[in-house]
Structure 1
Amino acid sequence: MTAPRPPALSKPLELPLTKDDLDNINLYLSPLTPEEILQWALDYLPNLYQTTAFGLTGLVAIDMLSKLTSNPPPLIFLDTLYHFPETYELVEEVKRRYGVDVTVYKPEGCESVEEFERMHGERLWETDEPAYDFAVKVEPARRAYAVLHVQSVITGRRASQGGARASLQPLEVDSTGLLKLNPLFAWNFHLVEWYVAEHRVPRNRLLDAGYKSVGDWHSTVKSGAGDAGERAGRWAGREEKTECGLHVDYFKMKGKAGKAG
């Protein structure tokens, strides 16, 4: 039986949220299915978009939303300029399959790898990885959210991915006030794979070529026999790194005051 909806809810959700409001919402959302969480988001979250790198979980959310509404949240794709060709092919396949528009944001002032490297130097991911993550993901995301007036985003994060995501909640608020919905937070990788196969969801062809998780070509390798973890092969040789950079709270890192509401 579904728990009663928190009294704080309205149409749309009023911001900022208090910590108590957020806790009550997560208490309500936690036992729901991903589809129910997404329907709740469609009903309540203001200025809702989906930020996706077209990983499996994001693709599952795209497919679920296509079945819930004829007007799904717009998609934002952060093009780091270093994606595999197969990833760009997948973007086009998703656009054809679901008839959705994808708004693309690239590093500021850059349309190509050559322009990026003239501005930032070669192999920035090796010389200053935090600066690279900020330039190719965080800054473009912040710019997208400002231009599009985004207040809420759907992510593809799951607790079973481990690392910083192990204690993930259905709904989070970062220090900028952005609402982050994680509809598949409780699913493990096997459930995601089952859904993709059952519903014939488009997927990156590299997953059939020995890759477990696909990011930028320079930091993604095929997973070896016995590799543990569903993100094996990402950030090879940097075991301490568990986040791509987009969901690292740089504002808190810089000592700025965060707010849950």
Structure 2
Amino acid sequence: MKSVPEVPSNASPQDILRLGLEAAEGPVKLACSFSLEDVAIIDLAKAAGLEIGVFALDTGRLNEETYEVADAISQRFGISIDWYFPRHEAVEKLEREKGLFSFRESLDNRHECCHIRKVEPLGRALQGLSGWITGMRREHNVTRIDLKSIELDQLNGGILKLNPLLDWNEEQLLAYVQQQRLPQNRLLKEGYRSIGCAPCTRAVQPGEDARAGRWWWENPEHKECGLHRR
């Protein structure tokens, strides 16, 4: 079991990354969905001379625009992305027995789809790691209010989980991305603010929170895919 370091209240994202990497005492990778947060984290780590790996989960239902960002950051930062895919037997069985859109029929069905396409591949991606990094921010949703900058991931072997941008607001994030001229998903200009699988993501309306366009048919407290169970 890893020991969670104390994080000063005024710690910067780079401070959090540095503290987490030191405490992990082993390999740490960013779980990258190619969001603005994830691209900013890669840039912050590179600027601070911090070595982190990057992995991504290809659910089989991502937008083309997401792959464009993946290609852009690979070229800009000279990094290799470790891709993980769902077990094809599980996807074939799900679609054969329940169809292509079973996830819209019930919360249990949606969790089943997310487990096959995201949670199980994540388990493989985390094997052998001492910690992993996410782009979660507190203001994303009510499900993320109580998170900590560095915490133990009890459900994934007690490794460390680093959330370096947890206390950044959207203004800070956008300002950094623009200042650094970082690659951005083209869907952001169409009103998307949180981008996941294509069938489960849509643009948000003025005044809605960033994740209102994710699984829009569900209640806010249910809007997690299982990657960040607590």
Give the alignment's TM-score, normalised by structure 1. 0.78
Q: Give, in angstroms, the shift of residue 124 of structure 1.
A: 3.6
**Alignment partner of 1:199 is 2:177:** no
**Aligned equivalent of 2:10:** 31
Separation in 2, partners of 1:94, 1:242: 27
Residue of 26, 34, 48 corresponding to 1:68 = 48
CA shift for structure 1 position 59: 1.1
Query: Which residue type is aligned with residue 171 of structure 1?
Result: I
The farther-off stretch of 117-126 and 170-179 is 117-126
- The structure that has the greater radius of gyration is 1
Q: The residue matched to 2:11 in structure 1 has which SS?
A: coil
Tell whether 2:78 aligns with 1:99. Answer: yes
Is 1:145–2:126 an aligned residue pair?
yes
Distance across 2 between alignment mates of 1:44 and 1:194: 30
Q: Which amino acid aligns with 1:30?
A: S
C-alpha deviation, 1:174, in angstroms = 2.1
Cα offset for 1:76?
0.7
Give 1:236's aligned residue.
216
Q: Provide closer, same or farther for how the CA distance between residues 32 and 135 of structure 1 changes in structure 2, counting only shifts above 3 A.
A: same
Q: Which residue number in structure 2 is paired with residue 122 of structure 1?
A: 100
Query: 1: CA distance between counterparts of 2:179 and 2:151?
Result: 30
CA positional deviation for 1:134: 0.8
What is the deviation of 1:158?
Answer: 1.1
| Residue equivalent to 1:171 | 150
Quote the residue 1:188 is aligned against: 169
What stretches of structure 1 of length at least 5 have no aligned partner?
Answer: 1-15, 250-261
Matched, 1:227 2:227: no
Measure the CA separation in 1 of the matches of 2:76 and 2:178: 15
Residue 254 of structure 1: aligned partner: none
Taking a change above 3 Å as real, the CA distance of residues 237 and 91 of structure 1, as seen in their structure-2 partners, is: same
Give the direction of change, closer, same or farther, for the CA distance of 1:138–1:30 in structure 2 (3 Å limit): farther
Alpha-carbon distance between aligned partners in 2 of 1:75 and 1:49, rounded to the nearest angstrom: 5
How far apart in 1 are the matches of 2:162 and 2:184? Answer: 22
Q: Secondary structure at the match of 2:88?
A: coil
Deviation of the 1:121 alpha carbon: 4.1
Per-residue CA deviations over 1:226-255 (Å, capped at 9, x if unaligned) read 332122311112123222321124xxxxxx
CA distance in 1 between counterparts of 2:93 and 2:72 reads 27
SS at match of 1:93: helix
Residue 17 of structure 2 aligns with an amino acid whose one-letter code is L
Give 1:36 shift: 1.5
Query: How many correspondences in the alignment?
Result: 223
TM-score normalised by L of structure 2: 0.88
Q: What is the identity, as a one-letter code, of the residue corresponding to 1:190?
A: E
Q: C-alpha root-mean-square deviation of aligned residues, in Å?
A: 2.1
Contact persistence 1:30–1:170 (CA under 8 A):
no
Task: Report Cα offsets for 1:104-155 as digits up to 9, x if no partner.
Answer: 00101369x7787348742242241111111111100101222xx1120011
- The aligned counterpart of 1:90 is 69
Structure 2 residue corresponding to 1:134, chosen from 115, 135, 144: 115
Residue from 75, 93, 108 that aligns with 2:87: 108
In structure 2, C-alpha distance between the alignment counterparts of 1:135 and 1:191, rounded to whole Å: 34
Measure, in 2, the Cα distance between the counterparts of 1:126 and 1:162.
20
Q: Which runs of 5+ in 2 are unaligned?
A: none
2:193 paired residue number: 212
Separation (CA, whole Å) in 1 of partners of 2:93 and 2:187: 27
CA distance in 2, matches of 1:42, 1:179: 9
Distance in 1 (CA, whole Å) between partners of 2:185 and 2:88 is 28
